[in-house]
């Protein structure tokens, strides 16, 4: 699978990554190369093999429904550039 410029432009917008028009062609080449490399996996015969979520036999750990966290508003806001009255302040987002 290879990508075109329009697709890469769209993905960049969705990911909020600024890819200048002059870099677009080289980004197309690089991303296409990565996809092509990953596509080698399709060569493996997986007939009769159930889909797996990974190569290890890890199970999803569960935790009991107990309150063990929270109550640390200062730590949560420590890196916020514009914290006010316990809130994160951000530029106005109007619906």
Q: Which residues bind another protein (CB under 8 A)?
A: 10, 13-14, 16, 53-54, 58-73, 75-77, 82, 84-95
Structure tokens at 32: 């296409």
C-beta separation of 29 from 14 below 8 A: no
Nearer to another protein, 20 or 64 (CB): 64
Nearer to another protein, 39 or 87 (CB): 87
Closest CB 3 distance from another protein, rounded Å: 14
Structure tokens at 19: 């890819």
C-beta separation of 32 from 3 below 8 A: yes
Closest CB 84 distance from another protein, rounded Å: 7
C-beta separation of 35 from 3 below 8 A: yes
Nearer to another protein, 14 or 44 (CB): 14
């Amino acid at each position: 699978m290879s990508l075109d410029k329009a697709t890469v432009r769209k993905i960049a917008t969705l990911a909020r990554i600024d890819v200048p028009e002059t870099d677009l062609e080289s980004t197309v080449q690089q991303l296409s190369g990565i996809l092509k490399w990953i596509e080698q996996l399709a060569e493996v015969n997986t007939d009769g093999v159930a889909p797996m979520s990974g190569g290890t036999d890890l199970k999803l750990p569960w935790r009991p429904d107990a309150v063990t966290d929270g109550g640390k508003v200062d730590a949560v806001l420590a890196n916020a550039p514009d914290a006010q009255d316990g809130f994160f302040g951000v530029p106005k987002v109007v619906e």
